[in-house]
């Protein structure tokens, strides 16, 4: 009888990704004196819900791929998600800067740093 083994490190990564998705992705402040208000990914772009679901399913799949193949898949997926997060942060900052005042500040939120 064969048992399905779950990679505990990737399962923890899946949990951390879910927590990071629930935290604010960026912080937007109207000026330097006021503390910023957190903005979630789905507030910036409503279609990112499906990207988050897709990434979660990919991490869940990676938990069940054995040995070296699972590690390579997880590495490629992590690099893809990292590039996507950095690109998304830049795109969000650009979008909020165009809509806000010249004194507005955009900084990375806790969801970005946890991811």
pLDDT tens digits for range 12-29 = 888 988 898 889 989 988
pTM over 0.85, yes/no: no
The answer as to whether 31 is a domain residue is no
The answer as to whether 68 is a domain residue is yes
Please state the rounded mean pLDDT for residues 77-81: 91
Total domains present in the chain: 1
The answer as to whether 102 is a domain residue is yes
Instruction: Give SS3 for 106.
Output: strand
The answer as to whether 1 is a domain residue is no
Domain encompassing residue 88: 8-26+36-114
Write out pLDDT tens, residues 86-101: 998 888 888 888 887 7
- d(Cα 64, Cα 76) in Å, to the nearest integer? 16
Instruction: Give SS3 for 41.
Output: helix
């Amino acid at each position: 009888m064969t048992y399905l083994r779950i990679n505990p490190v990737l399962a923890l990564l899946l949990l951390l990704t879910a927590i990071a998705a629930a935290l604010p992705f960026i912080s937007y402040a109207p000026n330097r004196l006021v503390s910023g208000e957190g903005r979630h990914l789905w507030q910036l772009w409503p279609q990112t819900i499906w990207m988050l679901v897709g990434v979660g399913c990919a991490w869940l799949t990676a938990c069940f791929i054995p040995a070296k193949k699972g590690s390579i898949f997880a590495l490629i997926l992590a690099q893809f998600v990292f590039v996507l997060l950095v690109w998304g942060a830049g795109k969000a900052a650009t979008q909020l800067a165009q809509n806000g005042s010249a004194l507005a500040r955009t900084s990375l939120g806790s969801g970005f740093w946890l991811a």
